[in-house]
Structure 1
Amino acid sequence: MKIVITGSIVLYQNDEHILRDAIDSFLDTDLNVLLYLIDNSPTDSLRKIIDDERVLYKHNPSNPGFGAAHNIAIKLAEQHNAQYHLVLNPDVYYEQGALEELTQYMEDNLDIGNIMPKVLYPNNDIQYLCKLLPTPYDWIGRRFNPFKDMVEKRNDLFELRFTGYNKVMDVPYLSGCFMYLRMSAINDVGLFDEGIFMYGEETDLCRRLIDGGYRTVFYPKVHIYHHFEKGSHKSWRLTKIGMQSAIYYFNKWGWFFDKKRRLINKSILQKLKS
């Protein structure tokens, strides 16, 4: 039986050239793939971005948020009996072979629920997107801390920079720019929490996967490129959305007293430092 792999990209008034690179990356494979474009833009001007029978476009101008839009695609993926689903940002691109190798690794390691490759900027600098489960300081306080040395010291630990990002490792919080998900795991733990409009929905899903007994894994033997602009650092509106998401997340999982977070982070650090 041939593996069915679906993917989804959530659109919102995107640069067409950058978006096309993301679409082409996903389609440039001999794997059995199907891509959903969920367009949260006010208009459907991106509808004709590509003409390929493997691409399904859905205009969704109500804009329910990042996770909620991906949920629409994941529900469609279930109807196509997909074994794997890729949540892909519209500003990511990669070379042929990346998805094939990740798929094989998932096939060989059935306890993995989510896997992320090494993520690079277009100039080949590394993006530090492997993280511990966040504390309120990591998501709120760190942003406003004026003491750069203190922030960098915390970054080295929180973003696991001390590992060198050169080995396969279990990571409790992986970026949402490229989430390669096992569909049976998602059916087990549930979809993205739609109470989070944007920012933090991937953290919540990774945590639920871990709670469900699945591994969330960083796999640096393949890499992708991510243009990556911290929108929440450039716009007060996005900063506000990010703060609201953080409040929702910590109300759900715990603010300063979160025993499970402490145990998960401690276990991960012990393994990585051993």
Structure 2
Amino acid sequence: MEITIVIVSYQAKYFLEQTLRSAIEAVEGLDCEIIVVDNNSGDGTAAWVRERFGQQVRLIENKHNVGFGRANNQAIAQARGRYTLILNPDTIVTRSCLQSCCQWMASHPECGAIGVHMIDGDGHFLPESKRAFPTPWVSFCKIFGLSRLFPRSRWLAKYHLRYLDEREPHAVDILSGAFMFCRTSLLQQVGGFDEDFFMYGEDIDLSYRLVKAGYQNWYVPASIVHYKGESTRKESMRYVKVFYEAMLIFYRKHFPRYRAVFYPVIKLGVWMRQSLAMARRALGVPASGSKPQASPGQWVVLSRHAQEVARQCHIERYSTCIPASGETQVIVDDGSYSYGHIVQLIDSKARRGLHWHIYSSRNGIVISPKMQQP
């Protein structure tokens, strides 16, 4: 078997269906398997997957939320593919992406895992696609905002490696857990994810252990869409607390000699970030990563049945061509375009003010970067 795709899901039913349909399209004709681990979503996800995908997907149902790492390990232990793809349930993957990863692995025996060019739902590059090891200096620059102030500096902005061309392949340190294409034998050899991490940090730890095992991690510029967990606000107090607690676990494990110096720095960083989040909330200031609420602008419907899709979406006036400028909302019908074509459109036409939504022809709903799951 060529590829095992592992998807851990928690309360992301409609995003998950889109991810599964894109994955099934991507592996058509290949000897592959797809395993979904549902972490007790409580929203009917397991029954939904059984009803809609049947034998196309192997389902593991957990009775409670065991965390990202442990849930992935349940599937990794059963993986039969030469390669295992760890994939988030809010992504759109393409055949060309998987082909690029397989070809890169075959021609680079020193490569243990691959990350790719991830774009958000509006086509903007996600910098966590490639990162450096969070050494004390790299972490200090991130915690205290130096990497954001000097994003192209090789000295101050190593965390996201923004000075590396996003359209070129590079050997990098850290890959994102939203898409990690790994050699299955190596993944099982190193024991999969460290289950001490419940959420955040597992991908950093695994990437570090793959390199310690003598392999390289590579960034390959093949594009996927990653909605980036829209329910998680990066400036929230909860995110700050959970993320930096994960960093403390990482340092206790891999850099114990820095404990006396680095722990107080981490604690200070957490206190500063939480204080900033509290101040923003008290003053009603939007988080730095949030988007302003703009007027909808003009609508574009891309579909062989544009009139029907517009009617279903309650849109009275629309165009069928994407303008070169201006605030524009684009609805693309997944019944008229393949997911590979949709990702290509979002990637190639990204610009300021252009917002993408995917009409799910099977469900009659719109999958949007800002949608709230029921």
Cα shift at 1:184: 1.6
Distance in 2 separating the partners of 1:149 and 1:108? 38
Question: For 1:178-193, what aligned pairs fall within 5 Å after superposition?
Answer: 178-193=179-194
Give deviations 1:61-113, integer Å, cap 9, x for gaps.
32221111100000111xxx321111000111033322122112212222211
Distance in 2 separating the partners of 1:146 and 1:173? 19
Distance in 2 separating the partners of 1:85 and 1:118? 18
Counterpart of 1:21, as a letter, is Q
Counterpart of 2:206, as a letter, is L
Unaligned runs of 5+ in 1: 259-274
Q: Confirm or deny that 1:163 pairs with 2:160.
A: no
Counterpart of 2:38, as a letter, is D
Cα shift at 1:4: 3.0
Q: Which residue of the partner structure matches residue 109 of structure 1?
A: 108
Question: For 1:1-16, what aligned pairs fall within 5 Å after superposition?
Answer: 3-14=1-12, 16=13
Distance in 2 separating the partners of 1:183 and 1:135? 27
TM-score (norm 2): 0.61
Cα shift at 1:12: 0.9
Q: Which residue of the partner structure matches residue 176 of structure 1?
A: 177
Distance in 2 separating the partners of 1:110 and 1:36? 26
Distance in 2 separating the partners of 1:202 and 1:135? 15
Distance in 1 separating the partners of 2:71 and 2:156? 31
**SS where residue 90 of structure 1 aligns?**
coil
Distance in 1 separating the partners of 2:149 and 2:174? 23
**SS where residue 74 of structure 2 aligns?**
helix
Distance in 1 separating the partners of 2:58 and 2:147? 48
Distance in 1 separating the partners of 2:256 and 2:165? 29
Maintained 8 Å contact 2:90/2:229: no
Task: Report the aligned-residue RMSD.
Answer: 2.5
Give deviations 1:233-262, integer Å, cap 9, x for gaps.
25433432222211111111116749xxxx
Distance in 2 separating the partners of 1:123 and 1:210? 33
Distance in 2 separating the partners of 1:147 and 1:176? 21
2:15 to 4, 14, 18: 18
Distance in 2 separating the partners of 1:162 and 1:26? 31
Counterpart of 2:243, as a letter, is G
Distance in 2 separating the partners of 1:206 and 1:227? 22
Distance in 2 separating the partners of 1:256 and 1:142? 21
Larger Rg: 2
TM-score (norm 1): 0.82
Distance in 2 separating the partners of 1:139 and 1:41? 34
Distance in 2 separating the partners of 1:64 and 1:181? 22
Counterpart of 2:220, as a letter, is Y
- For these two proteins, the number of residue pairs brought into alignment is 251
**SS where residue 61 of structure 1 aligns?**
coil
Higher relative contact order (CA 8 A, sep 6+): 1
**SS where residue 99 of structure 1 aligns?**
helix
Counterpart of 2:127, as a letter, is Y
Which has the larger displacement, 174-183 or 232-241? 232-241
Distance in 2 separating the partners of 1:18 and 1:140? 35
Q: Which residue of the partner structure matches residue 133 of structure 1?
A: 133
Which has the larger displacement, 87-96 or 128-137? 128-137
**SS where residue 246 of structure 2 aligns?**
helix
Which has the larger displacement, 127-136 or 149-158? 149-158
Unaligned runs of 5+ in 2: 260-374
